[in-house]
Amino acid sequence: MRNELTIAVRYIFSTKRKHLVSFMSFVSIFGIGVGVACLITVIAVMNGFSSELEKRIIGQNPHIIIEEQYGISNQEYLALSDRLSGFEDIKGLYPFIWGQGVLNFRSRAQGAAFRSVDLQNPIDRGKIEDQIYSGSLELVGDSLILGKELSMALGAFTGDSIDVMTSFSSKPKRFKVAGIFYSGMYEYDLNLVYINLSKASEIFDTAGSYNGIGLDLKDALMAERVKWQLLPVVPDGFRLRTWMELNRNLFAALKLEKIAMSIILILIVIVAALNIVSMLTVMVTDKRKDIGILKAVGASSTMVMNIFSLQGLLVGALGAVFGLCGGSGIVFILDKWRPPILPESIYYGINYLPVKISASDAVIVTAAALIISLLASAYPAYQASRLEPVEALRYE
């Protein structure tokens, strides 16, 4: 095999007789390199988007939500707290109240979702504490915290008074803006309002009960496994949902888009591999005399086939290496400089191309390029192996 490899390398870079073959070799290498670089870059961007969205969604929501159709009483919450305290994977839990309302400030009105904050619970408090953009988190009395985009839409800022109307109130109730938060998720910043847990119970008339219980885990990616562990512990009639289930459509769409883009870009590699077929076909024609001499001195058809198969594999390997280096370089530049080229309002508060490359993706892309290159060289190599010495040397 060593002799076949030496001959294959000489044939690829040989410039003694015809420049066409060497030019086609470089075109093939360049084409495969471009395809691999594009594929690695796109996969890294798709992985980056998924990772960034996970961080934003996980940081804002409970990892697991426990709900009951008619609400969860304080006694049930305390009982569940005792039952779940023995699970090592659970970092903490807290009750919450959700509701819909309308905010009125001067001549502007905006619908919003209200979410309670239990300031005495460090897990619940910690979810919003780092997101305070201005003002403070101290929700004392009739006060609330607006999202940054909602604040801009209403023209209301820290210290202003806003009228709040819900379906449980006969007349508007005035609240003071204690602070403004910025989560980086445009939908949350435009539609979410935080209020004190006791005040949420008052304006939504929950009478000491809660809409649900939020669980935070030590590892958010273990949510599905922990959910199945909790099912036997949670009373009948209670429903458990993970953050993955609540955002299933979003991540399914991202996964489908990643697969579709990968297929499209693999076609680029396949098109580039067709150059290998052309290159080897011309090479076989150009090297008829060499093939005849090799066979005349005892080279087998298998050896000749290996020479041209190795040529295709080497071209694919060189293209894959160049593409891997080029794609990694592009990913490095995007990650280091992060140019603001995307509108935040569309891409969930992300104004740059987030990237995340994994070793497994790089290995899969490289392996695919090598396999495609090897398959592309199969037919020309087979044709070369069928040449008879007499026919190859007849006109030489």
* Mean pLDDT in residue range 208-214: 93
Q: CA 279, CA 311: separation in Å to the nearest integer?
A: 10
- List pLDDT tens digits, range 303-328: 989 988 998 999 999 999 999 999 99
Q: What is the pLDDT of residue 253?
A: 86
* Mean pLDDT in residue range 375-383: 91
pLDDT band at residue 58, thresholds of 50, 70 and 90? Answer: confident
Q: What is the pLDDT of residue 340?
A: 85
- List pLDDT tens digits, range 27-51: 888 989 999 999 999 999 999 988 8
* Mean pLDDT in residue range 114-136: 91
Taking 60 as the threshold, does the pLDDT of residue 395 lie above it? no
Given 3-state DSSP classes, what are the helix, strand and coil percentages for the chain, each rounded to the nearest 5?
Answer: 55, 20, 25
158 compared with 258, residue with greater pLDDT: 158
Taking 90 as the threshold, does the pLDDT of residue 160 lie above it? yes
346 Cβ contact partners less than 8 Å away, ≥ 6 residues apart = 186
Q: What is the pLDDT of residue 316?
A: 92
How many angstroms from the chain centroid is the CA of residue 25? 35
Asked if 217 and 64 touch (Cβ cutoff 8 Å), the reply is yes
Q: What is the pLDDT of residue 346?
A: 66
Taking 90 as the threshold, does the pLDDT of residue 6 lie above it? no
172 Cβ contact partners less than 8 Å away, ≥ 6 residues apart = 104, 163, 164, 165
107 Cβ contact partners less than 8 Å away, ≥ 6 residues apart = none
Token pair listed for 244: 């993955």
pLDDT band at residue 396, thresholds of 50, 70 and 90? Answer: low
Q: What is the pLDDT of residue 18?
A: 55
pLDDT band at residue 388, thresholds of 50, 70 and 90? Answer: confident
Taking 70 as the threshold, does the pLDDT of residue 150 lie above it? yes
392 Cβ contact partners less than 8 Å away, ≥ 6 residues apart = 288, 289, 291, 292, 295
* Mean pLDDT in residue range 126-135: 90
Query: For residue 334, which of 42, 29, 95 has the smallest C-alpha distance?
Result: 42
* Mean pLDDT in residue range 79-87: 90
Q: What is the pLDDT of residue 66?
A: 96
**Tell me, what DSSP letter sits at residue 221?**
G
Dihedral, CA of residue 220, residue 222, residue 223 and residue 227, to nearest 10:
-150
69 vs 18, 211, 297, 354, CA distance in Å? Answer: 79, 8, 86, 39
This prediction's pTM: 0.80
